[in-house]
Structure 1
């Protein structure tokens, strides 16, 4: 069986036996161990934010910091503290964590470095990390190599450096492994209320998903942003996604990097199509988590989610008083998963009644400047753009920093459109700096989303429309690491055929019995040399042969074992169906235009397994090749049900062989008007039994 992972109830999204992080993240008492500048800053930060609980210092010298004197040791504290900042070296950190766990403290932030993140330079780092986990026991710890967190809701800051947060009553939470990125994000001046900024360090014990699960219990959190370097336990992420969806708290991820496992060389084209980034993308879609690719978009998406929540649809209306801006909006949206639906007849009629015959009506809309400053006319002109089928209305307004008083009417009109339509409305600046703080606050209070930067606003809208319900089933667990082997094509096809994949009639034979073994087959025939992963490149495939031509065709091929098959005819199109073991994310199914042009066409889509038939059909329809499968310009159509049945059969095999499977590739899957046949198949599997099991697998 695949390795065990976290256990939870999918119906409730509840993890079995999670650590209680409430005392650590929402403490009523704070202790700081150490006396350096970092530790002194923690005291100052919490006092400066108005923390109302007890603050203790533990240091041999009792000299007070901000009026807080120190006690010599943890044993001198009057009671076990809720949250502890450990600003001491890594060896002293181990002793302190053990003492805190024994006394019943709520949790600790481990600031010290030199653990597993430094193992390449210091071989003792990994061992120290194991010792740290053992010392903590059930007590939660953040880090090591971690700055800690800012809780701007309760004024609790286990944070040793500068930050840009201010007290808030509700807001978003941001989680990142990078302390420096966390600092920078807190310094944003976009008016985004940050309730929590949490750094996770190297996540020795407590990872991002577990921290985010704990934050979902706080009704003051409006959205959670995750800067992700690696996912870890995907079962736990699935539990997070389920619970977040149930609580109505949207998640957005900025996923960076690529796992080393997914970059390892593999024997098929599938690996190049479905590497770690495709796996990460597929996992996030499986979880219903929006993905963005840069920090400004990350912040703007959080702003949109905080003010409005996820969008009902990726349909946009754009309103501006400039034709240049209207064109710029349309061009900026190119390449993003959003659209500007044409105006309906009802919209046109309503717009004409206000704007008259001199204004060209379209979406994006240039409403002309002659109604500028007239709040009533602007409101009536903009309201039709906030139709029920529109996911978000973008009102393009750049506020000059010299004198913006003339823009107050536009602000009031935007607020009126939001109030009267009840639809999501955003005021968008083409340049990020052209929206002042007082206007931002005014818009937010009225329920209008302030968005800075046209590119970021469009990307944020696309992301907010991605957020959806997580798949009910968690990602499929993958086979453990180990040496792999490629089984023969005939054996691969036999395994897949047992699960419902159609394969050509054929026979495996030696060189001297080629013609004899092929007598029961119907020409034209295909001859393949066994034992090669890429037969076409090696000249080990011959097509369109008769029985008599087989011996001569085999003369130029290496080896003594051959696969002879009936040639599949009547192809409408060729597909690639591949599954790659991505250790960081799960089994990734890739569908692509197949045959020898797979890499050239670059027409592909990836899903995380398990996937439903509906998901697979949606993926197929997203391929540029799909119109050919449907019968392009009167040509014959492929039999789509057979294609779908084949893909689902491949998934059935993956589920059955998940303890050993490394990779599958069917290329091509020949799609005809009647059938879908795997003309070539490759399977790579782990060598050796697992814990006493045989390596026979599902076949």
Structure 2
């Protein structure tokens, strides 16, 4: 593994180039960098008042860090010379490498750059570089708005793949102390997760914030998350890519893999990394975690002297996991004793203006309120304009809140409903006094939720690796032996379970697999072949047989046992083509159905019906470029698209993860006996989904996509059965 100590915390800096090199020199000197700075230029005698050296060979010694601000061709040669002379690392400013898209020259130059660097770490190319506010070392060719940390002070470390977003973040006026800010560029050699591992080891770093356009390595992020948990340093991610346009922009910008949005969410959650979706929430979450760390739970309190603010707080919590729990009777009485008879006791609390500017009274009320053991206590308070108003009457409330928090050993934050009403000078004072200054109600509640999610995830055992190439293959966790889910050959085997049956009349609608016609082609397996493969691996497939004639269909039905289902093969969207006949109870019904279905497809499939169906699920597996096989579970049929009621799981998925995913679906009550319906066999559903996921993982090199729709879940203790299966093999390249 590459060593980053010298690059991140340099004592000597070499700068190459003209305008950008001058800016690096000026910014480092302005920040009070105590080390040596060596400009390098083949023609100039001095840069920014410092002697300029002609080449790497002329430098007094090997530099700890270098900023290379020359064109892409010259960058490669300078990096080669730096590596040969034992430099600690380099920032590559130039663009025109792999991020240029389909440019063959850019691809070739990127390979040459990585080769030239060898084991010397390089950041970029196509990036601004590094600001180290702890030591005043800047490999940064532009202005910025940050300030150096004081001795003994801690701050957050931020890494972003966008240099412009990085510049903007330095301009924040929210009171957030920053120890490091780095840009990763297109991650030619050194990925974002590897940079983060180097930063998080610094004791002056309290929290890590990642603006992620593309993942460099699933394994790298797993190592980062494990180390962050060991050090008790939370990680927050703003992962872009929820829209197709954002993913396209990320690829063109950084040449890295964005990953699908749902899979990214699950991956980050599994690692205990909280994902947020906006820059303001990102900064407020970092600030909250810097001040108080992960929250132990989702229970919040709120006090303000306005009924309007209390209502806005309550409404802003709707749809979130954080909540304002109702005070119990004894707690309510305790608070009421500190206020007048006209004040209604609630959470959020409007304490009215009866006690405004009465520090003793406010201290009593706030102390009584925060004594309830909340995970975070909020005081809603917007500061007046300093240029036109006086803030004298605001400080008694702040002192009272501080005293109440300290007396109860509680965490607290002061929330301004509008960010501009929390000036930076006030924010710094509040932070020093142990009260987190949060800008904006929505941002404050989102930050609290993110901090509570990390606290929740840290209480759980560390999850297994996602990819087989991350660590040793994890053992099966669903009570299955390897032989039970052994690999099988494509299209071989036709064994089904004799105790199984096929699909009953649809409970929630027909199947609509999402595989495109273009992708399907010759790699599409018909239902008979797909089910034979699944059955041979021991998955719960009803007994069925392929037939090519009416007579064969009738004979197969008699052998399987009535009632049966009859389907035309070769049509992935059978219901749209009227290619399914259900609940056929005798040979004559089968023959009549077979005659009508034979012209529609490439053959027939006869299958025993499933009795006692309580609900229909869909289980889909797709290959993700970052995470490998990713599984989606939801309610079967078109409702998956209409209600967007689905959950994503990374493989391997434990029994607990599958159960939690099902219980999180909007329509889960249908599985749980909603309004007198029969309760579904949830345990068998979890088992079947686990088997499907494990099968997909074993065959990840062969399967491009797989849809089980529906997985019929029967009433309790009656099992769950794969009633239809669609499998697309990977194309041979």
Same fold (TM over 0.5): yes
Deviations 1:268-301 (A, max 9, x none): xxxxxx9811111111112111111111111111
> Residue 547 of structure 2 corresponds to which residue in structure 1?
509
How far, CA to CA, are the matches of 1:224 and 1:262 in structure 2? Answer: 23
Post-superposition offset of 1:473: 1.2
Deviations 1:488-517 (A, max 9, x none): 323323333345532222211112311111
1:311 aligns with 2:301: no
How far, CA to CA, are the matches of 2:322 and 2:106 in structure 1? Answer: 47
| Aligned with residue 589 of structure 2, among 538, 549, 553 | 549
Post-superposition offset of 1:368: 1.4
How far, CA to CA, are the matches of 2:447 and 2:37 in structure 1? Answer: 40
> Residue 532 of structure 1 corresponds to which residue in structure 2?
571
> Residue 152 of structure 1 corresponds to which residue in structure 2?
133
> Residue 681 of structure 1 corresponds to which residue in structure 2?
725
> Residue 237 of structure 1 corresponds to which residue in structure 2?
221
> Residue 393 of structure 1 corresponds to which residue in structure 2?
377
Within 5 Å, give how 1:580-595 maps onto structure 2. Answer: 580-595=622-637
How far, CA to CA, are the matches of 1:478 and 1:595 in structure 2? Answer: 35
Q: 1:482 touches 1:686 (CA, 8 Å); kept in 2?
A: no
Post-superposition offset of 1:555: 3.3
Q: 1:282 touches 1:588 (CA, 8 Å); kept in 2?
A: no
1:668 aligns with 2:726: no
How far, CA to CA, are the matches of 1:78 and 1:483 in structure 2? Answer: 64
Taking a change above 3 Å as real, the CA distance of residues 570 and 533 of structure 1, as seen in their structure-2 partners, is same
Taking a change above 3 Å as real, the CA distance of residues 617 and 157 of structure 1, as seen in their structure-2 partners, is same
How far, CA to CA, are the matches of 1:607 and 1:379 in structure 2? Answer: 48
Deviations 1:123-158 (A, max 9, x none): 311000000000000000001111111000010000
Taking a change above 3 Å as real, the CA distance of residues 374 and 71 of structure 1, as seen in their structure-2 partners, is same
How far, CA to CA, are the matches of 1:683 and 1:63 in structure 2? Answer: 68
Deviations 1:353-377 (A, max 9, x none): 2124321111111111111112222
- Structure with bigger RCO (C-alpha 8 Å, 6+ apart): 1
Taking a change above 3 Å as real, the CA distance of residues 256 and 77 of structure 1, as seen in their structure-2 partners, is same
How far, CA to CA, are the matches of 2:108 and 2:723 in structure 1? Answer: 50
| Aligned with residue 127 of structure 1, among 108, 111, 115 | 108
Taking a change above 3 Å as real, the CA distance of residues 567 and 601 of structure 1, as seen in their structure-2 partners, is farther
| Aligned with residue 491 of structure 1, among 502, 522, 529 | 529
**Secondary structure at the residue paired with 1:572?**
strand
The answer to which of 655-664 and 564-573 deviates more is: 655-664
> Residue 90 of structure 1 corresponds to which residue in structure 2?
72
Runs of 4+ aligned residues of structure 1 deviating over 4 Å after TM superposition are 258-264, 481-484
The answer to which of 597-606 and 171-180 deviates more is: 597-606
Within 5 Å, give how 1:597-608 maps onto structure 2. Answer: 597-608=639-650
How far, CA to CA, are the matches of 2:77 and 2:650 in structure 1? Answer: 43
Post-superposition offset of 1:185: 0.6
Within 5 Å, give how 1:247-262 maps onto structure 2. Answer: 247-257=231-241
**Secondary structure at the residue paired with 1:343?**
coil
| Aligned with residue 227 of structure 1, among 187, 195, 211 | 211
How far, CA to CA, are the matches of 2:5 and 2:122 in structure 1? Answer: 12
1:458 aligns with 2:445: yes
Q: 2:711 touches 2:724 (CA, 8 Å); kept in 1?
A: yes
Q: 2:271 touches 2:463 (CA, 8 Å); kept in 1?
A: no
Taking a change above 3 Å as real, the CA distance of residues 354 and 200 of structure 1, as seen in their structure-2 partners, is same
Post-superposition offset of 1:482: 13
Q: 1:484 touches 1:662 (CA, 8 Å); kept in 2?
A: no
How far, CA to CA, are the matches of 1:482 and 1:228 in structure 2? Answer: 32
Deviations 1:239-276 (A, max 9, x none): 11111111111111111126989999xxxxxxxxx981
Deviations 1:520-555 (A, max 9, x none): 223332111112222112222121223322232233
How far, CA to CA, are the matches of 1:227 and 1:21 in structure 2? Answer: 20
How far, CA to CA, are the matches of 2:285 and 2:314 in structure 1? Answer: 19
How far, CA to CA, are the matches of 2:259 and 2:634 in structure 1? Answer: 14
1:183 aligns with 2:164: no
Deviations 1:353-409 (A, max 9, x none): 212432111111111111111222222212343356522111100111122110001
The answer to which of 97-106 and 566-575 deviates more is: 566-575
1:141 aligns with 2:122: yes
Q: CA RMSD in A?
A: 2.3
Within 5 Å, give how 1:109-120 maps onto structure 2. Answer: 109-120=91-102
Within 5 Å, give how 1:98-497 maps onto structure 2. Answer: 98-120=80-102, 122-168=103-149, 169-257=153-241, 276-387=260-371, 389-401=373-385, 402-467=389-454, 468-469=457-458, 471-477=462-468, 485-497=523-535
Q: 1:19 touches 1:138 (CA, 8 Å); kept in 2?
A: yes
How far, CA to CA, are the matches of 2:651 and 2:408 in structure 1? Answer: 41
How far, CA to CA, are the matches of 2:241 and 2:557 in structure 1? Answer: 51
Give TM-score scaled by structure 1 length: 0.91
> Residue 42 of structure 1 corresponds to which residue in structure 2?
24
Q: 1:30 touches 1:81 (CA, 8 Å); kept in 2?
A: yes
Unaligned stretches of 5+ residues in structure 2: 249-257, 471-518
How far, CA to CA, are the matches of 1:563 and 1:263 in structure 2? Answer: 41
Q: 1:476 touches 1:587 (CA, 8 Å); kept in 2?
A: no
**Secondary structure at the residue paired with 2:613?**
coil
**Secondary structure at the residue paired with 2:705?**
strand
Taking a change above 3 Å as real, the CA distance of residues 261 and 472 of structure 1, as seen in their structure-2 partners, is farther
How far, CA to CA, are the matches of 1:165 and 1:446 in structure 2? Answer: 21
Give TM-score scaled by structure 2 length: 0.86
How far, CA to CA, are the matches of 2:615 and 2:468 in structure 1? Answer: 32
> Residue 480 of structure 2 corresponds to which residue in structure 1?
none
How far, CA to CA, are the matches of 2:239 and 2:143 in structure 1? Answer: 25
How far, CA to CA, are the matches of 2:60 and 2:79 in structure 1? Answer: 18
Post-superposition offset of 1:78: 1.2
1:32 aligns with 2:32: no
Taking a change above 3 Å as real, the CA distance of residues 250 and 520 of structure 1, as seen in their structure-2 partners, is same
